[in-house]
Amino acid sequence: MVQEESAKPKNQARLVIRNIGLLLSGDLEQPILDADTVLAVDGKITAFGKEKDIDTEKATAVVDAKGTTLAPGLIDSHVHPVAGDWTPRQNQLGWIDSYMHGGVTTMISAGEVHTPGRPKDVVGLKAMAIFAQRAFTAFRPGGVRIHAGAPVLEHGMVEEDFKDLATAGVTMLGEVGLGSVKDGATAHQMVAWARKYGIQSTIHTGGPSIPGSSLIDKDVVLAADADVIGHINGGHTALPDNQIQTLCEKSPRALEIVHNGNERAGLLTLRTAAELKQLQRVILGTDSPAGSGVQPLGIVRLIALLSSLGNVPAQVAICFATGNTAKVRNLSCGLIASGRDATFVLMDKAQHTAGRTLLKSIEAGDLPGIGMVIIDGVVSAQRSRNTPPATQVPEVVKA
Ligand SMILES: [Zn+2]
């Protein structure tokens, strides 16, 4: 009797989201699921399907989706955080919380390069990366999970440095090319060392972003062979079309399209990936904060741009910012599947859009209205303060 009691899990947080009008999986293989209910226990998805088939008893929290659309929370694959919820780049506070109101629940740092006085010596850059990894693991503005601690490559780094970084918990490099290493041979060597110790890499692609940054062309990108071809559409200055097409064809790596890049080059990348039948390589980021500022709606704007002008169904474009990125980056969020993070964005068509449904409105180039954001099973925001107002919003009926 006593044993039985202690074996029972105590105080489980059981979140039920019911009355979902459309469930988007984030998975390109099957972007739309035939389901109206999701059950999450202690922040992880445990079941989804038709309400009658799901054990909704003993819920500690219930959300009535009111027929709106549920998708995995959006992932921004390319941000440049510095410390806390402050960016010195445009001297703004609260930018991460604002992005959460744009549906972003997970961010990936491409380097904390805007840090005033950023150290460029090897000991200093390692210390800064470890600090950022620790600080952003512990501090989550609006609940957003920020994967940070992304050192940029500087000359003088040796294999042991990558081993040290990995041992200390660093899991990725900042954009190759933003530090002093800008040649293909050195980048290739360091990216290979990083990969050997389980550290993922990304590379700046295109012309210089700001004074002090520099050109990285297709030859350097191909030689470096980083895991992610960072802002393949430039940040903002793009490579010539034939170089972008060559990168899509010759490299097997992820194709990252960013908001703060060249839109035409982004559409070319999308078209080329579609022709190659490799849409699973397309992932999205904002590349912000940057010279172009802070864009709380950057990811939904990119989804609407690629869907409306790139002729991909809205549910597919949403996969670019969810399941695709999760798979490329080995994240536990981004897909509606058992065991995945209970991290969601609930959307509806914006008020007075010409689109008949949420998906049609995105395909017509309009932004979705966000009605609720849930991170790790907890409601982070209700009606978004930043998107156009959603026609219908979900309601917390038990909390
Ligand atoms: Zn860049």
259-269 residue pLDDT tens: 999 999 999 99
- Interval 40-55: pLDDT, tens: 999 999 999 999 999 9
State yes or no: pLDDT of 27 exceeds 70.
yes
Q: What is the pLDDT of residue 226?
A: 98
Distance 205 CA to ligand 1 centre (A): 7
CA-nearest of 381, 334, 342, 388 to 141 is 381
- Cα 305–306–308 angle (5° rounding)? 65
Query: What's the distance, CA 236 to chain centroid?
Result: 19
Residue 81's closest CA among 50, 47, 104? Answer: 104
Q: Rounded to an integer, what distance in angstroms lies between the CA atom of residue 109 and that of residue 16?
A: 32
pLDDT at 7 over 60: no
Q: Which pTM was predicted?
A: 0.96
**339 phi/psi in degrees, rounded to 5:** 90, -15
229 alpha carbon – ligand 1 mean position (Å): 10
pLDDT > 90 in the chain, percent: 95
CA of 75 from ligand 1 middle (Å) equals: 18
From ligand 1's centre to the CA of 73, what distance in Å?
24
Cα 224 to ligand 1 centroid, rounded to whole Å:
15
Q: What are phi and psi of 15, to 5 degrees?
A: -100, 125
Average pLDDT over residues 79-84: 97
User: Which residues, by Cβ under 5 Å, contact ligand 1, an ion?
Assistant: 175, 204, 235
Q: How far is the CA of 335 from the centre of ligand 1 (A)?
A: 27
For residue 136, report the distance from its CA to the centre of ligand 1, in Å. Answer: 21
| Residue 178 Cα to ligand 1 middle (Å) | 7
235 Cα: distance to centroid of ligand 1 (angstroms)? 5
242 HSE (CA, 13 A, CB side): 0
pLDDT of residue 11: 85
Mean pLDDT of 120-126: 98
Q: 50 C-alpha to center of ligand 1: Å?
A: 44
| Whole-number pLDDT of residue 3 | 45
What's the pLDDT tens digit per position in 153-198? 999 999 999 999 999 999 999 999 999 999 999 999 999 999 999 9
Q: Rounded to the nearest whole angstrom, what is the distance from the C-alpha of residue 237 to the centroid of ligand 1?
A: 10
| pLDDT at residue 135 is higher than 80 | yes
The letter for the amino acid at 52 is: K
**Ordered DSSP codes for 299-344:** HHHHHHHHHHHHT--HHHHHHHTTHHHHHHHT-S-SS-STTSB--E
* Region 88-92 average pLDDT: 95
**Please, are residues 181 and 188 in contact by the beta-carbon 8 Å criterion?**
no
Residues near 10 by Cβ (< 8 Å), separated by ≥ 6? none
At residue 213, the pLDDT reads: 78
